[in-house]
Structure 1
C-alpha cells in the first residue's frame, strides 16, 4: 500500500501534477503494486517554504522551479532491485513526457507491515 507525496513549488498546473503522479503510479504498478492501490497527495509550496540546492549532490544540469521531491512509503521488504526498477520506469515515463529527470528526487521509506491500517482500524498484516 504505497503512499506517494509530491512536494513542489507553486504554481504548477493540474496537467503537470497529473503527469508526475501518473508516472509514479505506473512505475509502482510495473513493480507489482495493485493498480487500485493509489493513495497520493501533492504539497505545493511557495519558494520560501520549499528550498533546494540547484546542483547538490551530482545533478548533471541544474534544478529548476520544476524540481519535484517524491516520497514513497512502502511496505517493508521490497528489494533494492525493485526500487531501482521503480526509479527506471519513473524516469523513462517522465522523460517521455518531456520532464528533465534531473529535477526529480525520490526517497523511499520502508514501513513495517504492522504499522499499516488501511481502513477501520484493522491491521491486516500483523
Structure 2
C-alpha cells in the first residue's frame, strides 16, 4: 500500500493537483500496485511553510512556484529497476501534461510490512 504525499506551494488548481496524483498513481499501477490501492494526500503550503533550494543539486532549470515534492511511502523490496521505471513513466506523463520535470522531486521511503495496519488495528502481514 503506497501512501503518496504531494507537497506544493499555494495556490494550485484542482487540475494541477489531480494531474500530479493521477500520474503518480498510474506509474504505481504500472509498477505492480493494484489499481484500487489509492491512498494519496496533497499538502498545499504557504510560501513561508515550504522552503527549498532553487537549484540543488544539479537542476537544469531553477525550482520555482511550480515545484512539486512527491513522497512515496511503500513496503521495502522494490528494486532500483522498478523505481527507475516508475520515475521514467511519471516524468513522461507529466511532461506530456506540460509540466517542467525539473520541478518534480520524488522521494521513496520504505518500511517493512509489519508497519502497516490497514484498518481495525490489524497487522495482517505479521
TM-score by length of 2: 0.98
Q: How far 1:22 sits from its partner (Å)?
A: 0.2
SS of match in other structure, 2:98? coil
- Return 5+ residue gaps in structure 1 as ranges: none
Aligned length: 126
Unaligned runs of 5+ in 2: none
Aligned pair 1:53/2:53, yes or no? yes
| Partner residue in 2 for 1:106 | 106
Q: In structure 2, what is the equivalent of residue 39 of structure 1? A: 39
Displacement of 1:105: 0.5
CA RMSD of the aligned region, Å? 0.6
Partner of 2:82: 82
* Matches of 2:81 and 2:117, distance apart in 1: 26
Residue 63 (structure 1) shift: 1.1
In 2, Cα distance between the equivalents of 1:80 and 1:122? 30
**1:65 counterpart = 2:65:** yes
Per the TM alignment, residue 46 of structure 1 is displaced from its structure 2 partner at its CA by: 0.5
Tell me the alpha carbon deviations over residues 64-123 of structure 1, each in whole angstroms, 9 at most, x when there is no partner.
100000000011111111111111110000000000000010000011000001111111
1:45: Cα distance to partner? 0.4
Which portions of structure 1, spanning 4 or more consecutive aligned residues, are displaced by more than 6 angstroms? Answer: none
Deviation at 1:124, TM superposition (A): 1.2
Cα distance in 1 between the residues matched to 2:25 and 2:82:
14
- How far apart are residue 54 of structure 1 and its match? 1.1
Q: Scaled by the length of structure 1, what TM-score is found?
A: 0.98
